[in-house]
């Protein structure tokens, strides 16, 4: 699903105009992004938790040459789905 499809879905579910739905979706994404930038967790009940994880500096290898390459420390966003979301997704899976 693309963001434009998400906006259409939100508009249909809420009765908002497409413009208002786009504003709401953008506001949610901006709020989550800003919280993660401040290294704050974002917990959405029944959906999951967005967080950040520190990745330490390390030495990797160039796969082509085998030469060592320094990889700088960084912070990566992570998402851990709630049990309710996992159960919903898995209930639709065919085994």
Residue 43, H or E segment? strand 42-44
Residue 80 lies in a domain: yes
pLDDT in tens, 27-73: 999 999 999 999 999 999 999 999 999 999 999 999 999 999 999 99
Residue 30 lies in a domain: yes
Residue 61 lies in a domain: yes
CATH number, domain of 76, equals 4.10.520.10
Domain count, the chain: 1
Residue 90 lies in a domain: no
Residues 6+ apart with CB under 8 A from 21: 7, 8, 10, 11, 14
Residue 95 confidence (pLDDT) above 70? no
The predicted structure's pLDDT at residue 11: 97
pLDDT in tens, 17-33: 999 999 999 999 999 99
The predicted structure's pLDDT at residue 92: 75
**Residue-range definition of the domain harbouring residue 77:** 3-84
């Amino acid at each position: 699903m693309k963001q434009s499809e998400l906006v259409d879905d939100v508009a249909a579910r809420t009765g908002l105009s497409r413009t208002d739905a786009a504003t709401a979706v953008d506001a949610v994404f901006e709020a989550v992004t800003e919280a993660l930038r401040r290294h704050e967790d974002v917990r959405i009940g029944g959906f999951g938790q967005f967080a950040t994880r520190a990745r330490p500096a390390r030495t990797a290898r160039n796969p082509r040459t085998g030469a060592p390459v320094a990889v700088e420390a960084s912070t990566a966003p992570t998402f851990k789905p709630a049990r309710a979301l996992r159960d919903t997704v898995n209930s639709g899976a065919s085994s």
